[in-house]
Amino acid sequence: MKFFYYLVAMLFGAAGLFIAIVYAASELGGEVVTLIKPIADGETRSVRVWIVDRGDQSWIEHGSSGDFWLEKVSRQAELKLIREGRVASYTAVIDAPAHDLYHQLRARKYTVADRVIQTLTGRSDECTSLPVRLMPIH
């Protein structure tokens, strides 16, 4: 019976360690912004995401085809992010062709943290998330 308790403790410990490493890499690996995304009941939910930039355009990636908030972006293109402590509005466009570009920019910006996330959660060529291109609304 003692062996069973050790096994359960090891499994919970390993799961806890995995979650802690992913969280630390995500939150401490570089710039993290807060996406204010619409949810099905008409409310919004805040979620922390990485952001990459090239010129005056930025990309985030959070969710896959069929997700409510991404379908809403296709109909109503304005999104809000909290970046550097300020709320900013963006015109958002789902940009599936930019998937590889997003991952290249992300790898360059987040370096070690990106490699940790890729190692623990899967390679970018297996990724089904859709990048969203953001253009600031001035």
On whether the CB atoms of residues 74 and 94 are closer than 8 A, the answer is yes
How high is the pLDDT of residue 124?
A: 57
On whether the CB atoms of residues 81 and 34 are closer than 8 A, the answer is yes
Per-residue pLDDT reduced to its tens digit, 28-77: 778 999 999 988 888 899 999 999 999 989 999 998 888 899 988 888 88
Neighbours of 94 (CB within 10 A): 17
Look up the pTM and report it.
0.84
- Counted residue by residue, the chain has a size of 138
- Domain 2-136, CATH: 2.30.110.10
Per-residue pLDDT reduced to its tens digit, 76-98: 888 999 999 999 999 999 999 99
How high is the pLDDT of residue 29?
A: 75
Where exactly are the structural domains of the chain? 2-136
